Amino acid sequence: MSDSLSTDVLIVGGGVAGLWLNARLRRLGYSTLLVDKGVLGGGQSVKSQGIIHGGTKYALSGALTGASEAIADMPRRWREALAGNGELDLSGVRLLSDAHYLWSPGTLTGNLTSFFASKAVRSRVGQVKGSELPPALQDSRFKGKVYRLSELVLDVPSLIQRLAELSGPGLLKAERIEPLRENSELTGLVVDGRSIRAQRIVLTAGAGNAELLNALGLAQPAMQKRPLHMVIVKAPTLKPLYAHCLGGGSKPRITVTSHAAEDGEWVWYLGGDLAEAGGVARDEAAQIAAAKKELAELVPWIDLSAAKWATLRIDRAEPAQSALARPDNAFLAEQGRLLVGWPTKLALSPDFADRVEGALVRDGIQPQPLAPLPELPRPAIARPFWEGLV
């Protein structure tokens, strides 16, 4: 590859953040080129649980925090996009559930009583009973309480597919990324030997941002990784469930999402406290044993004797925070033409795009007339992670 290219905005990383941003910028008339070294969505995005949080679960730690406030508008923005009348046309993306549930397995302890009594939570949740309960909890032995949250759960592979369709011809698969400097200013990137000049360069490579910054000789912004050890269970007896099971602590005991496998069986994807530090310390067999124990306690009416189990280790990549605290918003740092960031949540991708768009507007970056792109090697799209695992 030797022909050089020019674009208004060069994006590195085709997870949900890069792809959403790419589609938004194209709608505004900017030319874009998005480079990915792997498969689109194949980092954290396709391994996420696809919950479009409105922030209510963060209120578990007490009064509403910054996280709850910043994220509160996201379900509305995603709903509009899914209906085809929002900032992007995401019609065709599969909605797995129109609601996410908070599920308390027994009587509410003091901590949870005050959580549900708080004004912020009362305005966001409604209790459901009987036939309104999620299918997996409709059993005479179920004794807990369930509250419906107006938060969506998306099929992330179909989201990535749709965002890739909205990318037009400007997707490029490439391995090697080096800085392109002219008069000691960063003016673009050399991508697998091909120079690409851009008015702005945005790094949205998730956990790959650290390596890219290193290649550009930059130490900031620093990145942190928070590891998770998720559990996957597939069984003919499973029915769909999208819920945080509350345990009384500041994190859900488990968070369950459900995904239809190609053979028609349901796969449950288990996160929450089970997948946090204690789970990270366990090896695969011990983690599966811990998950079996949790489900035997929480949903004993589901026969899992024919279930297949697997675990998945994956890091959340975010800007470094003191004491590994959870960042509140999408994060964007700027250095000249270079912008670097992490959405910190799939749900916050619109917030991330707002920040980049705000920086372009502030700097008076206008779309330039440019030659059409040649045919480029295109990255593939990630497959559902559970296929082939269970």
Q: Which residues bind ligand FAD (CB under 6 A)?
A: 12-18, 35-38, 40, 42-45, 47-51, 53, 177, 204-208, 211-212, 228, 230, 271, 314, 316, 342-347
- In the complex, least distance from residue 91 CB atom to ligand FAD, rounded to whole angstroms: 20
Residue 58: CB minimum distance to ligand FAD, A: 12
Instruction: Output the smallest distance, CB 204 to ligand FAD, in A.
Output: 5
Enter the tokens of residue 279.
Answer: 């789970």
Q: Which is nearer to ligand FAD, 51 or 310 (CB)?
A: 51
Nearer to ligand FAD, 47 or 124 (CB): 47
Nearer to ligand FAD, 142 or 155 (CB): 155
Nearer to ligand FAD, 136 or 205 (CB): 205
CB of 129 vs ligand FAD, minimal distance in Å = 26
| CA distances for 306 relative to 73, 236, 255, 309, angstroms | 41, 8, 22, 10
Q: How far apart, in whole angstroms, are the C-alpha atoms of residue 189 and residue 53?
A: 35
- Nearer to ligand FAD by Cβ, of 177 and 235: the residue is 177
Do residues 262 and 388 make contact, with C-beta atoms less than 8 angstroms apart? no
**Residue holding tokens 């530090």?**
277
Closest separation between CB of residue 389 and ligand FAD, Å? Answer: 13
Q: In angstroms, give the least distance from the CB of 317 to ligand FAD.
A: 6
| 36 vs 142, beta carbon nearer ligand FAD | 36
Closer to ligand FAD at the Cβ: 46 or 142?
Answer: 46
Give 12's strand partners: 35, 203
Task: Give the nearer residue to ligand FAD in terms of CB position, either 148 or 316.
Answer: 316
Report in angstroms how near the CB of residue 312 gets to ligand FAD at its nearest.
7
Distance of alpha carbon 57 from alpha carbon 59, whole angstroms: 5
Q: Give the rounded distance of the alpha carbon of 38 from its chain centre.
A: 17
Q: Closest distance between ligand FAD and the C-beta of residue 21, in Å?
A: 9
User: Residue length, the chain?
Assistant: 390
Q: In angstroms, give the least distance from the CB of 366 to ligand FAD.
A: 26
Query: Based on CB atoms, which residue is closest to ligand FAD, 29 or 217?
Result: 217
For the chain, the C-alpha Rg in angstroms (whole number) is 22
| Cβ-proximal residue to ligand FAD, closest one | 208
181-186 long-range contacts, CB within 8 A, separation 24+ = 185/336, 185/337, 186/216, 186/336, 186/337, 186/338
